[in-house]
Chains A and B, each alone.
Chain A
Amino acid sequence: MSLTRRRFVAASAAATAAAGVAPRHSQAQATPDTLTLALAARGNRTLDPANSIQGADNWSIIHIHDTLVRSPDGRFAQRPEEFIPQLAQSWTMSPDARSWVFRLRQGVQFHKGYGECTADDVVFSLQRAMDPKQAGDRSLFVNIASVDADDKYTVRISLKRPDPLFLGGTIQNYACVILSRKAVGERGEAIQRDPIGTGAYQFGSLDPDPSKGVLMTANPAYFDGPPKIRNFRIRYILDTTARTLALLSGDVHMIEGVRAPGWVPSMKQRKPGLQFDVAAPGSLFTMSFNLTRKPLDDLRVRQAFAYAIDRDAIAAATAPISRRTYGLNPPDYPGGLKREAVPEALRYDHDPAKAKALLAAAGFPKGLKIEAYTSQREDYAAIMLIVQEQMRTVGVDIDLKVIDHTTFHANNRKDMNSLPQNSSAYPPVPTLPLSDTLSRTGEVKADGTGGTNYAHYGVAIPGIDDLLAATWAEPDFDKRIALVRQAELKVLADLPLMPMATNGYLIVRDPKVRLGYEVRSGYAYWRMNGAVFA
Chain B
Amino acid sequence: MASDVAVPIANRGWDRAEQSVLWLLWGIIRRQPFTLACLVVLIAIVLVAIFAGQIAPYDPVAQSILSVNQLPSAKHWLGTDQLGRDVLSRIIFGARASLVLGVSAPVLAALIGTFLGLVGGYFGGWPDRAIGRVIDLLLAFPALLLGIIVAAALSSGFWSMLTVLIIAFAPRFARIARASTLALRQAPFVEAAIAAGLGHGVILHRHILPNIIGPIVVVLTLWIATAIRLEATLSFLGLGTRPPQPSWGNIIRDGLNAMFGSPWPIIGAGLAITVTVLAMNMVGDAVRDVLDPDTRE
Task: Classify A-B as touching or not with yes or no (CB < 8 A).
Answer: yes
Residue from the list B62, B65, B256 in contact with A317, Cβ < 8 A: B65
| Bound form: Cα–Cα A385–B82 in Å | 12
Query: Residue A389 at the B interface, CB < 8 A?
Result: yes
Interface size class of B (residues with CB under 8 A): 20 to 34
Among A267-319, those with CB < 8 Å from B are: 270, 313, 316-317
Closest to A402 in B: B243
| Bound form: Cα–Cα A313–B83 in Å | 13
Q: Are B82 and A260 in contact (CB under 8 A)?
A: yes
Measured between beta carbons, the chain A residues less than 8 angstroms from B156 are: 403
Q: Are A5 and B69 in contact (CB under 8 A)?
A: no
| Bound form: Cα–Cα A382–B65 in Å | 10
Contact string against B for A residues 364-390, beta-carbon threshold 8 Å, 1 for contact and 0 otherwise: 000000000000100001100110110
Q: Are B63 and A376 in contact (CB under 8 A)?
A: no
Contact string against A for B residues 256-286, beta-carbon threshold 8 Å, 1 for contact and 0 otherwise: 1111110000000000000000000000000
Assess A402 versus B83: contact at CB under 8 Å? Given A241-B259, A386-B65: no
Measured between beta carbons, the chain B residues less than 8 angstroms from A403 are: 155-156, 242
Among B70-94, those with CB < 8 Å from A are: 70-71, 82-84
Q: Are B155 and A266 in contact (CB under 8 A)?
A: no
| Bound form: Cα–Cα A404–B238 in Å | 9
Q: Are B62 and A389 in contact (CB under 8 A)?
A: yes
Closest to B67 in A: A262
Residue from the list A262, A316, A388, A400 in contact with B82, Cβ < 8 A: A262
| Bound form: Cα–Cα A381–B250 in Å | 15
Q: Are B71 and A1 in contact (CB under 8 A)?
A: yes
Pick from B68, B238, B259 the residue with the most CB of A within 10 Å: B68
For the complex, would chain A's binding face be called helix, strand, loop or mixed by DSSP majority? helix
Query: Residue A136 at the B interface, CB < 8 A?
Result: no
Measured between beta carbons, the chain A residues less than 8 angstroms from B62 are: 389
Query: Residue B53 at the A interface, CB < 8 A?
Result: no
Assess A266 versus B260: contact at CB under 8 Å? Given A261-B82, A261-B83, A386-B63: yes
Closest to A404 in B: B238
Contact string against B for A residues 222-262, beta-carbon threshold 8 Å, 1 for contact and 0 otherwise: 00000000000000000011001000000000000000111
Q: Are B243 and A266 in contact (CB under 8 A)?
A: no
Closest to A1 in B: B71
The smallest C-beta distance from B66 to any residue of chain A, in angstroms, reads 9
| Bound form: Cα–Cα A400–B244 in Å | 8
Residue from the list B84, B238, B242, B261 in contact with A266, Cβ < 8 A: B261
Query: Residue A486 at the B interface, CB < 8 A?
Result: no
Closest to B68 in A: A262
Closest to A316 in B: B65
Q: Are B71 and A2 in contact (CB under 8 A)?
A: yes
Q: Are B256 and A261 in contact (CB under 8 A)?
A: no
Residue from the list A2, A261, A388 in contact with B65, Cβ < 8 A: A261
Q: Are B242 and A401 in contact (CB under 8 A)?
A: yes
Q: Are A389 and B63 in contact (CB under 8 A)?
A: yes
Query: Residue A424 at the B interface, CB < 8 A?
Result: no
| Bound form: Cα–Cα A385–B85 in Å | 12
Measured between beta carbons, the chain A residues less than 8 angstroms from B83 are: 261, 382, 385
Measured between beta carbons, the chain A residues less than 8 angstroms from B71 are: 1-2, 5
Assess A241 versus B261: contact at CB under 8 Å? Given A2-B71, A386-B63, A401-B242: no
Query: Residue A407 at the B interface, CB < 8 A?
Result: yes
Measured between beta carbons, the chain B residues less than 8 angstroms from A402 are: 242-244
| Bound form: Cα–Cα A376–B244 in Å | 10
| Bound form: Cα–Cα A382–B257 in Å | 13
Measured between beta carbons, the chain B residues less than 8 angstroms from A244 are: 260
| Bound form: Cα–Cα A165–B88 in Å | 55
Measured between beta carbons, the chain A residues less than 8 angstroms from B84 are: 261
Measured between beta carbons, the chain A residues less than 8 angstroms from B244 are: 385, 388, 400, 402
| Bound form: Cα–Cα A272–B242 in Å | 37
Measured between beta carbons, the chain B residues less than 8 angstroms from A400 are: 244
Measured between beta carbons, the chain A residues less than 8 angstroms from B256 are: 241
| Bound form: Cα–Cα A260–B261 in Å | 12
Known: A240-B257, A385-B63, A402-B244. 5 other contacts (CB 8 A): A376-B238, A376-B243, A385-B244, A386-B63, A402-B243
Which 8 residue pairs across A and B have the least CB separation, nearest first? A262-B68, A317-B65, A2-B71, A402-B243, A261-B65, A261-B68, A389-B63, A262-B69
Can you list 12 A-B contacts (CB < 8 A)? A2-B70, A2-B71, A9-B260, A260-B258, A261-B65, A261-B83, A262-B68, A382-B83, A385-B63, A388-B244, A402-B242, A403-B155
Interface residues of A (CB under 8 A from B): 1-2, 5, 9, 240-241, 244, 260-262, 266, 270, 313, 316-317, 376, 381-382, 385-386, 388-389, 400-404, 407
